[in-house]
Chains A and B, each alone.
Chain A
């Protein structure tokens, strides 16, 4: 049963992810006074791309071909293991370090693929992505550590369960600091404004997009899908770690239904908030990005200290 729930959760996230992306675009368009595209447009794009055979650069090797499946597989693994709808799924497997490691594995696979293309843009994107990742991953780890101090475990399911059963314990100064740090890390990890601009066509300013410029057809579909999935995963973690209400802590149909609805509502809300934030924000100069990320790291560090000292 737990396996079924875990797989069901992964399917839910995989289906939901393009809609989350569509929602951020739609909200942004509306707030800017544009009509925008439909919520399902990312799915239509994926369907179109999945029907097209991919091309690969003549200089590219196995890394280039392997990166999209690796990226998608690591994202799906996180979607299976981490507590999004229910905390009971695969308890003990969803360790914080495993989750961050899986996300990093995907990012590194893509960066290697960017280098593998042998083009200036691929290398440029990979170099920028790794600069950012080197600052983001420690922040991801530390900000969740702040929460695990309270629970005494790095198991994400245990942290979420503790929050869901005792909601008052979530509202601590440490949590607030950690939430801020994780939110900034999420923006950077998913290539959103102010760190990266997902909608730009200017190759020289790109970070994430520069690495995937050479992908086409099915490969591009996998990369896009995985990117949407990573956004959904991080928003979902953010939601469940700091607002763990509604998460199913036992496996009854009603609890699961509530868990699913709560998850969709929370992720949708965060996605809309993200889009609204993007409308108000502008992209930072590349050399200012490390300052922002260093700031988020400092917040995460303070969160850990606060959690350790204040309890």
Chain B
């Protein structure tokens, strides 16, 4: 069912040619991961000159589920890679990420600015390399080269990284004339936690809690993508019962997050009553989550090789939540001022969404019908997944996509829940693998969009590399595009309608 292939690429032309052909064939660049390998196995601490940097480009398409990996090798002391920035915007971002973390220089990159690299990080220190060592002392802050927009009456509004509300840190630089935004630059990288580095050398099970904490609101999405990747690497077959439990947990996660977002969008137009009620609905769902998994954000529900729930979700609660949510949505949309605020605000066109590689409800609200539950299903015989799309690309479209998806999620939970087995099910042994290092890929449609994980597990059963791509990484660049010609006081509303993760973006 799943088609997999790995191709070694030897020349720049070949890399670009294959990339262009794959993108033309409907593949998307889902992940690019660099690996610092020692040619002799087991000598991570003593890398000689023969060490190499290996770069894996993962292209995915579906349905049917296809995954193709291109591999580029370069020497570790002076690593270079031919840039594919001209072919793929996500590719250019991955290249900047590799440049900051591994020191890989992308040849022909048009704008090689720091991405992950925090302004205080010392130059020439590449934390993901095996010989990086402990962090040298921080250096003085170097300002980011923001583009200055000049002209009569143009001024800048710097916002953040510390905000007035309880939200994650991000710096936004608005160039504004009057109240109209001419240009927005988002500098987000203030929360680098070194998750991928931390995971190296730890066992599969030890890393599960890390996966659940990549982005706190996406515990199931990331844990599931991680487990699918591990199972793919180790060749573990999981049963349909496990897949069904996972599916239900994934939809429960989508449900409570969409409910919260719908309320938050209403709150941003000062329609507090809708917000108050969505918070009530969300609380009922979080309590349901607690009953099902023992954790309000569903942690612990998915484990490598299996799943674990204490009890099936109470269907009355789900039905009530879905009904109440529909009522709140209808009430909000009946309000002419609310509808006016959402309509036509921060439009992201289908072309812009496609070019930036935006995922999830953002892409679907701009008319791109992509959903990993359809493209890369892990549940073979489940109820059919409805892909909700809108084509206006504005805040209203993102609001409506969420509202519809929440209803479909509730329906999926109701369809799958009655037959769910409880307790710990699935394969429990995910021990040492023996033999060679194995790699695997996990793809999940989390509530925010498509999550892709790729793991490499050594013969000792410990992770040698774990690359995580949260949908936020690919969708963030779409936000400034959507802000063109929007007014400053509408930015928080637009931002909320995207609701991207800072933590998942900056690992």
Contact = CB atoms under 8 A, between A and B. Distances in A.
Given A120-B158, A197-B270, A286 B337 contact: no
A203 B165 CA distance: 9
A120 B488 CA distance: 12
B456 to A, nearest CB: 42
Interface stretch (A105-113, A229-237, A276-284): A276-284
A283 B270 contact: yes
B66 interface: no
A123 B156 CA distance: 11
Contacts of A124: 157, 488
A193 B270 contact: yes
B341 interface: yes
Please indicate which of the listed interface residues B163, B266, B272 has the most CB atoms of chain A within 10 Å of its own CB.
B272
A120 to B, nearest CB: 4
B279 to A, nearest CB: 9
B268 interface: yes
Nearest to B277: A33
A166 B402 CA distance: 58
Contact of B341 (A203, A280, A282): A282
Contacts, number: 84
Contacts of A213: 164
B385 interface: no
A282 B341 CA distance: 9
A201 B165 contact: yes
Contact of B492 (A204, A279, A286): A204
Please indicate which of the listed interface residues A32, A199, A213, A288 has the most CB atoms of chain B within 10 Å of its own CB.
A32
B75 interface: no
Contacts of B276: 32-34
B179 A32 contact: no
A213 B488 CA distance: 17
B42 to A, nearest CB: 52
B155 A287 contact: no
A151 B332 CA distance: 45
A287 B164 CA distance: 24
B275 to A, nearest CB: 8
A274 to B, nearest CB: 14
Interface string A169-191: 00000000000000000000000
8 contacts: A120-B157, A202-B165, A203-B159, A204-B488, A205-B493, A279-B273, A283-B269, A284-B341
A218 interface: no
A208 interface: no
B135 interface: no
Interface in B353-412: none
Contact of B155 (A120, A194, A203, A284): A120
A204 B270 contact: no
A213 B162 CA distance: 14
A220 to B, nearest CB: 14
Contacts of A282: 266, 269-271, 335, 337-338, 341
Contacts of B335: 282
Contact of A203 (B156, B164, B179): B164
Contacts of A280: 273
Interface string B255-278: 000000000001011111100110
Contact of A194 (B268, B270, B489): B270
Interface in B165-193: 165, 179
B270 to A, nearest CB: 4
B487 to A, nearest CB: 6
Please indicate which of the listed interface residues A33, A120, A123, A202 has the most CB atoms of chain B within 10 Å of its own CB.
A202
A305 interface: no
Q: When A and B form their complex, which 8 residue pairs have the shortest distance between CB atoms, in order from nearest?
A: A201-B165, A283-B270, A202-B492, A32-B276, A197-B270, A120-B157, A282-B271, A282-B337
B337 A284 contact: yes
A interface bracket (residues with beta carbon within 8 Å of B): 20 to 34
A28 interface: yes
Interface string A69-94: 00000000000000000000000000
Contact of B179 (A121, A281, A286): A286
Given A202-B165, A282-B338, A286-B487, A120 B156 contact: yes
Nearest to A195: B270
A204 B337 contact: no
Contacts of B270: 193-194, 197, 199-200, 278, 281-283
B460 interface: no
Please indicate which of the listed interface residues A199, A284, A285, A287 has the most CB atoms of chain B within 10 Å of its own CB.
A285
Contacts of B156: 120
Nearest to A196: B270
B213 interface: no
A273 interface: no
A199 B273 CA distance: 13
A198 to B, nearest CB: 9
Given A203-B159, A204-B489, 18 more contacts: A120-B155, A120-B159, A121-B157, A124-B157, A193-B270, A199-B270, A199-B272, A205-B268, A278-B270, A280-B273, A281-B337, A282-B337, A283-B269, A283-B270, A284-B337, A285-B340, A285-B490, A286-B490
Contacts of A120: 155-159
A205 B489 contact: yes
Interface in B56-110: none
A283 B273 contact: no
A34 B163 CA distance: 25
Contacts of A287: 179, 487
A194 B270 CA distance: 8
A31 interface: yes
B280 interface: yes
Contacts of A193: 270
B491 A204 contact: yes
Contacts of A201: 163-165
Interface in B320-345: 335, 337-338, 340-341
Nearest to A31: B273
A205 B496 CA distance: 13
Contacts of B163: 201, 203
Nearest to B332: A282
Please indicate which of the listed interface residues B164, B270, B277 has the most CB atoms of chain A within 10 Å of its own CB.
B270
B137 to A, nearest CB: 28
A200 B275 CA distance: 13
Contact of A288 (B271, B277, B340): B340
A166 B159 CA distance: 56
A283 B487 contact: no
B433 to A, nearest CB: 50
Interface string A260-285: 00000000000000000011111111
A58 B164 CA distance: 20
A283 B493 CA distance: 12
